[in-house]
Structure 1
């Protein structure tokens, strides 16, 4: 039974894995469903490196939304671990949602797709193949519909629905939050009857230390974008809650080459100062207290092949 607005009458709770190619809009969708930022969003592909769980209350249903790393063709150990994390999120989920960048897919189908579009389309096929292997039906979320005409969207919908991978399709714009509530209704209906898994006011289960590192990594990507090397990570090394209610945080940005360090620092340290200020301001908004943030940059060749770094990210080193 559901209410007039399609939300369950009985308490439900469960996990919904948000799957898709890199840059399909998965993190933007999770943030829109939660109503708060729980996952970082940048224009750089493969921004999400590990499972991030956002908790959304939808009527009497508690949706635990698992923002997974993008599914793509892995080349490095870190890539393999990220893809493995994505499918692990799917294996454990009650509901599967496949997010597709409809605008990129439309360009490819029209013969206008360039390099990144074609790679994204190939990754869509990888997700579809993986979903077929599970034997489970998924919800299809065609994202970025605000960039397309209705006829194009209808053609895309028919194309994907005929694959027999999906049993429901939603046309959404995660950024503009168009039809996101309809998608939430569908997820809620599929969840098992259950008491809530998290306190009602909790919006994520990401530890605050990891949240702080992710926010700094986001500011790095947003400021530097193309210039920033992919082989970079941020770790929160210390977290001290002080008597005055403020928090002192020390972080280290690890890069793999000597020439990457001055790129992040900027001339006279100007770049890292701006990045630190932006990260501190967002952390203060998220945590509701004064933050004293200290960021260091260190060269660590081959960090992407260190088991400890994978453990810190919650990734399987042996994937």
Structure 2
């Protein structure tokens, strides 16, 4: 068992064998998988909000170290109850990810094991030969750390993971121990991606995600789940500026009015924040133009979901 106070700058592997492989970060919605991915690769790649089901796509984050290359796959949270086509798509993406990786890390919230956590574990258990690690996140919120011991002992007795790690994704604590546990279980093989690559996703995809993140952060209650973002134009102008045109799709006219806001104030705020994030990640100036359009029932239309990039 690895303690959260594991030194953050220790060598990840003690031998010289280079390892590389795919690692799925899985779990129920809102346990901090995307925050953990960002902390592990050192770049704010996967969008984050306090809302469940913020992650709708599989995101690959690449961590290259002298000892190996870890290819983290952030997945949508496996959830129950969603009956729309998009909900089914998210669950398919989460389940498919664990059949295509070398190792899985199930992320749970410190002190909690829910029915959805159990559903995720049951899916992992079907992959009998795949190493399975448990990452207990948000331990920084636990005032009495000793109370975790019986919880973890009971959990490991009923659900035998290969190892358990205590982490705080938000505080970047306990990560080197988790990385060490991952690397020693990956195949010995050369790196798959270049040393400077951080993802296989395009800037076009990331731009849409950054707009959607602002929708998740700024809109109230269920409205963010009725929105998606489509990039209609992405090109680098001769002056070095990335010109991006994006459509925010909603399901009803009333939702369109809310996204636009009084005199366009909400849409302007969404665009300004998204543009700043794009400029930071893309390392160049961005001209961002947003439109809001209505497409009733888009989240139940399989063809539209494919068009919008849902797997």
TM exceeds 0.5?
yes
Residue matched to 1:100: 108
Matched, 1:212 2:212: no
The match for 2:54 among 33, 47, 56 is 47
Structure 1 stretches of 4+ moved >4 Å:
none
Shift of 1:187: 0.9
For the pair 1:139 / 2:147, whether they are aligned, the reply is no
Give the alignment's Cα RMSD to 1 decimal.
1.5
DSSP 3-state at the match of 2:245: strand
**Residue 122 of structure 1: aligned partner:** 115
Q: TM-score, normalised by structure 1?
A: 0.90
Aligned partners of 1:145 and 1:29: how far apart in 2? 13
Q: Give the Cα separation in 2 of the matches to 1:141 and 1:313.
A: 32
Distance across 1 between alignment mates of 2:246 and 2:299? 18
Contact 1:44 1:225 in 2 (8 A): no
Is the CA contact 1:231–1:304 (under 8 Å) kept in the aligned structure 2? Answer: yes
Which residue in 2 is equivalent to 1:196? 191
2:229–2:308 contact (8 Å) kept in structure 1: no
Answering whether residue 286 of structure 2 is matched by residue 278 of structure 1, we say no
Give the distance between the partners of 1:30 and 1:251, measured in 2 at CA: 26
Q: 1:26 aligns with which of 18, 33, 36?
A: 33
- Separation in 2, partners of 1:305, 1:32: 34
Whole-Å separation in 1 of the counterparts to 2:61 and 2:308 = 17
CA contact (8 A) 2:40 2:63 kept: yes
Distance of 1:84 and 1:255 partners within structure 2: 23
Counterpart position of 1:114 = none
Aligned to 1:9: 16
2:85–2:302 contact (8 Å) kept in structure 1: no
Secondary structure, aligned partner of 2:51: coil
Q: Give the length in aligned residue pairs.
A: 298
SS of structure 2 residue aligned to 1:286: helix
1:81 aligns with 2:89: yes
Deviation at 1:220, TM superposition (A): 1.4
1:248 equivalent in alignment to 2:240 = no
Per the alignment, residue 65 of structure 2 pairs with 58
